[in-house]
Amino acid sequence: MRAVTIASPGSGRKLAFSQVETPLPGPGEVLLRVEAAGVNRADALQIAGYYPPPPGAPPWPGLEVAGVVVATGEPGGDAVPAGPGVGDAVVALLEGGGYAQYAVARSAQTLPVPDGVPLADAAALPEAVCTAWTNLVDTAGLRPGEWVLVHGGSGGVGSIAVQLAQALGAHVVATAGGPDRAARVRGLGADVVVDHRADDVVAAVREATGGRGVDVVLDVLGGGGLADNVRALAPRGRLVVIGLQQGRRGELDLAAVLAKHLTVTGTTLRSRTPAEKAALVAVVRERVWPLLAAGQVRPVVHARVPLERAEDALAMLDRGEVFGKVLLTP
């Protein structure tokens, strides 16, 4: 099969479209013919040499795909009893290896393609939905009626987080860069959208919440956003950091943490164990898949790029022009 391989890790992002061995599904795994692969910032980090794949994963990037099962491994491993069979259309959360014509996935990390969602578009879902769900619900404990600030409602994760939080009955303030992107985030259902390039996000949060602040912040900025995020939180607010686009270090005003009884935390998806990922995929299937089938949450696909032009897709992310997700199509 052909895959997008890393020709020279770390040096100017040189990718190749190479002939490689088609992987074989092991116990509890399936082999997918890839219809589309989601492109993530973590892929760019891996290609740059900063984010090595976990042991056993293929060396080529790709954390999520949609495709059709063409072979199944022996039962066992962490297979679920109702795992997919040959011919089934699924999406999968991978340890790596999605930038290819075929990819191996753990059965327990696959989900059926939701009713009403085109197979290729569904590749935009696994990373974003699992990340949004686990951080908003498991980590932040977002409840109906609460306010949440979603930084980057225009992004792959943010575009899903805005819709999901709305569907869960929360009120959403979201940010986006520029008036056009802000208008599109409003179209996803956010109550208030702030153009982070032009407007003061904390002031907008206070205005939207009658001065109280938001209960939850879903943050992709990291260090550079820390002070404002703490200022934006209401008493007993929860800040969940999932991205470090403005650096890994910041100054935390502990007096505000104490006075407002705040929680400051963060998580990653990729580093979780297979059992943790299987449990997350199972709850996403139960809680989010019906929202997708009902059209309350939908994948946001910016563009489809042929697999062999993966560098162009990553460059689109670098330029900040992607709204939602960009997909690679073999």
Residues engaged in binding ligand NAP (CB under 6 A): 40-42, 127, 131, 151-152, 154-158, 175-177, 181, 196, 220-221, 242-243, 245, 267-269, 317, 320, 322
- Calpha distance 56→77 (Å, rounded): 14
What is the radius of gyration, based on Cα positions, of the chain? 20
| Nearest CB to ligand NAP, comparing residues 32 and 176 | 176
For helices 156-167 and 179-187, what crossing angle results, to 10°?
A: 40
CB atoms within 10 A of CB 225: 25
| Nearest CB to ligand NAP, comparing residues 115 and 200 | 200
Provide, rounded to whole angstroms, the least separation between the CB of residue 241 and ligand NAP. 8
| Nearest CB to ligand NAP, comparing residues 268 and 273 | 268
Provide, rounded to whole angstroms, the least separation between the CB of residue 276 and ligand NAP. 12
Contacts 24+ apart (CB under 8 A), 200-205: 201/149, 201/175, 201/228, 201/232, 202/228, 202/231, 202/232, 204/173, 205/147, 205/149, 205/173, 205/232
| Nearest CB to ligand NAP, comparing residues 183 and 294 | 183
| Nearest CB to ligand NAP, comparing residues 265 and 268 | 268
- Calpha distance 19→200 (Å, rounded): 50
Contacts 24+ apart (CB under 8 A), 192-199: 193/153, 196/151
- Calpha distance 299→297 (Å, rounded): 7
Provide, rounded to whole angstroms, the least separation between the CB of residue 162 and ligand NAP. 10
Q: Are strands 89-93 and 110-112 parallel, antiparallel or unpaired?
A: antiparallel
Provide, rounded to whole angstroms, the least separation between the CB of residue 93 and ligand NAP. 11
Provide, rounded to whole angstroms, the least separation between the CB of residue 8 and ligand NAP. 23
Tokens of 307: 């697999």
Provide, rounded to whole angstroms, the least separation between the CB of residue 321 and ligand NAP. 8
Angle subtended at Cα 117 by Cα 114 and Cα 122, rounded to the nearest 5 degrees: 80
- Calpha distance 176→152 (Å, rounded): 5
Provide, rounded to whole angstroms, the least separation between the CB of residue 273 and ligand NAP. 14
| Nearest CB to ligand NAP, comparing residues 116 and 187 | 187
| Nearest CB to ligand NAP, comparing residues 34 and 269 | 269
